[in-house]
């Protein structure tokens, strides 16, 4: 199944698009054209509608705070002089926000790397090693896919309290690794299992052990799935607020938490919130646009998480 | 599949921290390893060990712990309360609101998002810019709930000069209905009017040929239109109908007589007067530049009429909806959530659509089915498995919704917008300090996703048979 992940965003060249070759009746051509025209106009409107909220945030983050109180962001269309980098200047010189930004990176990168490492070991075992209880154990992992974090928040808080992990980046990272693992194992195991057995046999013939096969054959061949997992986990951790809200303290808080504490006093500090929110979403958006094929594959393979 | 997209890179793929034994085992003779792929129980468990330890300590153990803890009260392990916490879920107002809202979310969101995704997926098949469209709609999936929350607080700002939602609503409203000419004005208290649904009705009925004086107050002078003429001292001749004057009954310096038209007092043009008899409107007129009006004879044909100053003359101007207020907060947040997830449904369904054999659709068309019939009888049934996956995914995620509700309702209507995941946080961390109740809510959420878990396991077993 999902080892064969297709790229879903491929444009579908419907027959009605290429009307050059096919001879059709004038009437049906007009119907197709105008019907298609209506659909096109409708979809363009929907797309604009979908872009507007984010665009509003972007414009707000670029406006002079003095103008923001009492006039909408769309006023920049009539007076573009309001646009300024000032908000970003003060954001970049805001120590709390900058520390939170780097905390986000220190939380996200290790969480992603660890999940890939631990997950792919386990996935290889589930896909290619025989041991008693393997299949039902994997079903347990499939079951764990949907466990809500809420069921673990309190006990892990206790655990972290006892082990002095509370308020540390390590604690936040470990939590994300734990709750990212079921998806990682699930995604990678399905992909690894689709690698042709011949390739592994051949490596074995050449004297490869399970470790060499894992590193030299399975991991390289599994790169597309690993890329999907990496992006998915990266976005999941980068965008998390709840886990960090509970386990991070002021010094280890990521951007999301820093922004939510700002938004408690909403209205007065939109000049901090808007650029901050944009900073927090521009990184995922860049990842999304750069790797959207893998991202979509990850979402598709992991639907139901 | 892996299909040669990334060819096996001999020797180049091992990361630096390959672990002990990698290089050593390379040099071993081929004969040392007499097993095929997949032999060795011990090795299997070794590969699994890190994952199993993490999952056991940080996922499995906490589930059991929460289950037990949920049977104890706020004071800790000495405070065994049995199922009390679960009972409180249904009796405590805050928690019950959360439960109710979660139910609304689960009933509304998966259905709406899936329907939207289906429509978009089908329609994008017909346009050239399908890829761009999908990208734009899918983009919010990459954005954090926090950022989306901030984005939508901006959208939903009550002030139509700041929030784009109310700007549009007010704009549309004003385009279709003219604003009331005299917001807030009312008849002089002793002039013989009853308030009637935002408007006013005279107590006495006026017969044919009668006249009426309708003095208004509570209107600042700047609200009087610049083209208003001084009110005539006596109403115009009524003829067979009814005539009268509507004017601002106020002279500077309180020089005039209340209820009488005094020299210099302005008439109020554009006021709509309705003649009412027995609850029916039998005629209407609009005041002229000097505030005078004449109702035609047809209005009084059946007898005396009461005069009504309709609400539309006085309604205060429409300021948009209070999106973040108590009554609209949940629909508003749901709107933001739909914005985030519609692209997800669309992309999954579009992939499912692409997998439908074109022959099936063509066969139906050849048989004379209309496009709608093809959609309804062929496409949707063939898509059913994909639609089920989308729905189940959404149900799971909707049950866990937290950040968006927390951020959008922050400081305004958190009580009304409450959901289980938020209440769990508030009860155990955000000041409630009742870990017993928090654990119980966690367990309830866990139980609620159990059907989805079983769905997953069954789907997986079916696909791997």
Does the beta-carbon distance from A124 to B142 stay under 8 Å? no
Does the beta-carbon distance from A118 to B62 stay under 8 Å? no
- Domain annotation covers residue A19: no
SS3 B308: strand
Sign of CA dihedral B131, B135, B138, B141: positive
Task: Using CB atoms within 10 Å of the CB of residue A51, give its burial: 0 to 12 exposed, 13 to 18 middle, 19+ buried.
Answer: middle
Angle at B204 between CA B201 and CA B205, to 5 degrees: 90
pLDDT, chain B, mean = 82
In this prediction, residue A192 carries a pLDDT of 92
Does the beta-carbon distance from A12 to B403 stay under 8 Å? no
Could you tell me the CA-to-CA distances from B345 to A128, B14, B129, B201 in Å, in that order? 33, 37, 18, 55
Task: Say how many C-beta atoms besides its own lie within 10 A of residue A17's C-beta.
Answer: 15
Spans of chain B, pLDDT less than 70: 1-40, 178-180, 197-198, 252-255, 315-317, 465
Please tell me the CATH superfamily of domain B72-157+324-463, with its number.
MetI-like (1.10.3720.10)
Does the beta-carbon distance from B139 to A288 stay under 8 Å? yes
Asked if pLDDT for residue A286 goes beyond 80, the answer is: yes
Query: Does the CB of A109 have a partner CB in chain B at under 8 Å?
Result: no
The rounded distance, in Å, linking the Cα atoms of B443 and B69 is 10
The rounded distance, in Å, linking the Cα atoms of A9 and A300 is 11
More confident residue, A111 or B142: A111
The rounded distance, in Å, linking the Cα atoms of B226 and B249 is 17
| Residue pair B79/B436 in contact by the 8 Å Cβ criterion | yes
Nearest to B46 by CA among A14, A177, A8, A131: A131
Does the beta-carbon distance from B58 to A178 stay under 8 Å? yes
SS3 B87: helix
SS3 B309: strand
| Residue pair B139/A285 in contact by the 8 Å Cβ criterion | yes
The rounded distance, in Å, linking the Cα atoms of A174 and B277 is 77
Query: Does the CB of A199 have a partner CB in chain B at under 8 Å?
Result: yes
Query: Does the CB of A218 have a partner CB in chain B at under 8 Å?
Result: no
For residue B257, the Cα-to-chain-centroid distance in whole angstroms is 53
Phi-psi sector, B261: left (phi>0), alpha (psi -120 to 50), beta: beta
Polymer length in residues for chain B? 465
More confident residue, B162 or A27: B162
Sign of CA dihedral B190, B193, B196, B199: negative
Mean pLDDT value across residues A85-111: 92
For residue B456, the Cα-to-chain-centroid distance in whole angstroms is 30
* Closest-CA distance of chain B to residue A119, Å: 7
Helix %, strand %, coil % for chain B, to 5? 50, 10, 35
Mean pLDDT value across residues A207-222: 88
- Give chain A's domain count: 1
Asked if pLDDT for residue A304 goes beyond 60, the answer is: no
Picking from A70-79, A201-210, B104-113, which range would have the lowest pLDDT averaged per residue? A70-79
Mutant choice from B10, B17, B142 vs A, greatest count of A C-beta within 10 A: B142
Mean pLDDT value across residues A128-143: 89
Q: Where are the alpha helices (DSSP H) in chain A?
A: 26-61, 65-68, 86-92, 95-128, 134-144, 150-163, 169-193, 197-205, 210-213, 219-221, 223-239, 242-247, 255-263, 270-290, 292-301
Beta strands B186-187 and B193-196: pairing type? unpaired
SS3 B177: coil
pLDDT exceeding 90 applies to what percent of chain A? 48
DSSP state of B267: B
Cα nearest neighbour of A116 on chain B = B51
Angle at A121 between CA A3 and CA B460, to 5 degrees: 35
Which strands make up the sheet holding B306-309, listed edge to edge? B193-196, B199-202, B306-309, B272-277, B280-286
The rounded distance, in Å, linking the Cα atoms of A294 and A7 is 8
Does the beta-carbon distance from B13 to A220 stay under 8 Å? yes
Q: Where are the alpha helices (DSSP H) in B368-434?
A: 371-373, 380-399, 403-408, 414-417, 420-428
Nearest to B10 by CA among A192, A202, A121: A202
Does the beta-carbon distance from B452 to A304 stay under 8 Å? yes
**Bridge-partner residues for A235, per DSSP?**
none
Question: DSSP labels for B279-291?
Answer: TEEEEEEE--TTS
Mean pLDDT value across residues A72-95: 84
| Residue pair B422/B432 in contact by the 8 Å Cβ criterion | no
For residue A216, the Cα-to-chain-centroid distance in whole angstroms is 28
Residue A25's pLDDT band (cuts 50, 70, 90): low
Task: Say how many C-beta atoms besides its own lie within 10 A of residue A158's C-beta.
Answer: 14
Give the closest of A14, A156, A211 to B58, CB-based: A156
In this prediction, residue B397 carries a pLDDT of 92
Q: Which helix (H) or strand (E) holds B414?
A: helix B414-417
pLDDT in tens, A144-172: 988 999 999 999 999 999 999 999 999 99
- Domain annotation covers residue A111: yes
Q: Residue with structure tokens 């986990």?
A: A233
Does the beta-carbon distance from B403 to A288 stay under 8 Å? no
Instruction: Indicate which CATH number applies to the domain containing A186.
Output: 1.10.3720.10
Is the pTM here over 0.90, yes or no? no
Does the beta-carbon distance from A39 to B127 stay under 8 Å? yes
- Domain annotation covers residue A194: yes
Mutant choice from B31, B67, B150 vs A, greatest count of A C-beta within 10 A: B150
The rounded distance, in Å, linking the Cα atoms of B23 and B15 is 12
For residue B198, the Cα-to-chain-centroid distance in whole angstroms is 29
Question: Distance from first CA to last CA of chain B, Å, rounded?
Answer: 18
Q: How many CB pairs under 8 A join A and B?
A: 409
ipTM above 0.90 for this complex: no
Task: Using CB atoms within 10 Å of the CB of residue B369, give its burial: 0 to 12 exposed, 13 to 18 middle, 19+ buried.
Answer: middle
The rounded distance, in Å, linking the Cα atoms of B32 and B38 is 16
The rounded distance, in Å, linking the Cα atoms of B78 and A221 is 55
Buried b (16+ CB within 10 A) or exposed e, B399-436: bbbbbbbbbbbbebbbebbbbbbbbbbbbbbbebebbb
In this prediction, residue A63 carries a pLDDT of 86
Mean pLDDT value across residues A11-30: 46
Q: Residue with structure tokens 């470990």?
A: A174
Query: Does the CB of B455 have a partner CB in chain A at under 8 Å?
Result: yes
Tokens of B344: 């997800």
Mean pLDDT value across residues A197-212: 87
Cα nearest neighbour of A17 on chain B = B128
**Bridge-partner residues for B264, per DSSP?**
none
The rounded distance, in Å, linking the Cα atoms of A128 and A124 is 6
Domain of A120?
89-301
The rounded distance, in Å, linking the Cα atoms of B448 and A150 is 12
In this prediction, residue B227 carries a pLDDT of 79
- Domain annotation covers residue A69: no
Residue B426 has φ and ψ, to the nearest 5°, of -65, -40
Beta strands B280-286 and B186-187: pairing type? unpaired
The rounded distance, in Å, linking the Cα atoms of B390 and B346 is 9
């Amino acid at each position: 199944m999902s080892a064969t992940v297709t790229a879903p965003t491929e444009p579908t060249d419907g027959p009605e698009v290429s009307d050059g070759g096919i001879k059709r009746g004038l009437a049906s051509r007009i119907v197709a054209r105008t019907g298609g025209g209506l659909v096109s106009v409708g979809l363009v409107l929907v797309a604009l509608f979908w872009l507007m909220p984010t665009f509003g945030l972007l414009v707000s983050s670029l406006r002079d705070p003095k103008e923001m109180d009492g006039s909408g962001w769309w006023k920049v269309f009539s007076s573009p002089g309001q646009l300024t980098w000032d908000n970003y200047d003060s954001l970049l010189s805001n120590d709390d926000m900058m520390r939170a930004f780097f905390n986000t990176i220190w939380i996200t990168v290790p969480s992603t790397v660890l999940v890939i490492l631990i997950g792919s070991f386990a996935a290889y075992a589930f896909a290619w090693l025989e041991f008693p209880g393997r299949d039902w154990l994997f079903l347990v992992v499939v079951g764990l896919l949907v466990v809500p974090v809420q069921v673990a928040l309190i006990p892990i808080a206790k655990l972290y309290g006892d082990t002095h992990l509370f308020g540390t980046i390590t604690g936040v990272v470990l939590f994300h690794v734990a709750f990212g693992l079921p998806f990682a194992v699930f995604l990678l195991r399905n992909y690894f299992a689709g690698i042709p057995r011949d390739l592994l046999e051949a490596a074995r013939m050449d004297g490869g052990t399970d470790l060499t096969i894992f590193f030299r054959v399975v991991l390289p061949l599994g790169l597309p799935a690993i890329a999907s997992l990496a992006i998915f986990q990266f976005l999941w951790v980068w965008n998390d607020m709840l886990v960090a809200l509970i386990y991070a303290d002021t010094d280890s808080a990521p951007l999301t938490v820093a922004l939510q504490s700002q938004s408690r006093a909403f209205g007065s500090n939109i000049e901090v919130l808007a650029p901050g929110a944009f900073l927090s979403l521009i990184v995922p958006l860049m990842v999304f646009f750069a790797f959207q094929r893998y991202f979509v594959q990850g979402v598709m393979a992991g639907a139901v998480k | 599949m892996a299909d040669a997209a990334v060819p096996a890179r001999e020797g180049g793929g091992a990361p630096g921290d390959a672990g002990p034994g990698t290089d050593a085992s390379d040099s071993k003779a081929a004969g040392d390893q007499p097993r095929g792929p997949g032999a060795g129980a011990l090795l299997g468990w070794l590969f699994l060990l890190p994952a199993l330890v993490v999952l056991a300590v940080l996922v499995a153990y906490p589930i059991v712990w929460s289950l037990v803890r949920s049977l104890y009260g706020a004071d800790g392990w000495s405070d065994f309360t049995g199922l009390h916490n679960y009972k409180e879920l249904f009796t405590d107002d805050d928690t019950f609101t959360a439960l109710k809202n979660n139910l609304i979310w689960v009933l509304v969101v998966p259905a709406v998002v899936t329907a939207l995704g289906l429509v978009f997926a089908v329609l994008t098949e017909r346009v050239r810019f399908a890829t761009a469209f999908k990208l734009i709609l899918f983009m919010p999936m990459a954005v954090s709930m926090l950022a989306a929350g901030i984005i939508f607080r901006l959208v939903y700002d009550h002030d139509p000069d700041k929030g784009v939602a109310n700007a549009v609503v007010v704009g549309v409203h004003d385009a279709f209905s003219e604003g009331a000419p005299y917001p807030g004005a009312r008849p002089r208290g002793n002039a013989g009017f009853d308030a009637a649904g935002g408007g006013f009705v005279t107590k006495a009925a006026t017969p044919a040929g009668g006249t009426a004086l309708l003095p208004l107050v509570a209107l600042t002078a700047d609200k009087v239109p610049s083209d208003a003429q001084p009110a005539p001292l006596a109403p115009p001749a009524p003829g067979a109908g009814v005539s009268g004057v509507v004017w601002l009954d106020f002279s500077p310096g309180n020089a005039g007589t209340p209820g009488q038209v005094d020299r210099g007092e302005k008439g109020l043009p554009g006021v709509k007067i309705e003649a009412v008899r027995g609850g029916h409107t039998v005629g209407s007129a609009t005041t002229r530049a000097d505030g005078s009006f004449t109702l035609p004879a047809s209005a009084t044909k059946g007898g005396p009429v009461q005069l009504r100053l309709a609400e539309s003359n006085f309604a205060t101007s429409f300021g948009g909806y209070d999106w973040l207020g108590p009554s609209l907060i949940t629909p508003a947040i749901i709107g933001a959530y739909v914005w985030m997830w519609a692209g997800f449904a669309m992309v999954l369904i579009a992939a499912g659509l692409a997998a439908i054999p074109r022959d099936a659709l063509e066969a139906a068309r050849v048989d004379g089915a209309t496009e709608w019939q093809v959609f309804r009888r062929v496409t949707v049934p063939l898509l059913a498995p994909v639609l089920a996956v989308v729905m189940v995914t959404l149900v799971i995620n909707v049950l866990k919704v937290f950040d968006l509700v927390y951020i959008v309702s922050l400081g305004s209507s958190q009580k009304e917008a409450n959901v289980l995941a938020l209440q769990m946080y508030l009860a155990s961390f955000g000041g409630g300090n009742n870990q017993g109740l928090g654990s119980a809510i966690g367990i309830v959420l866990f139980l609620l996703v159990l059907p989805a878990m079983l769905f997953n396991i069954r789907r997986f077993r079916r696909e791997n048979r």
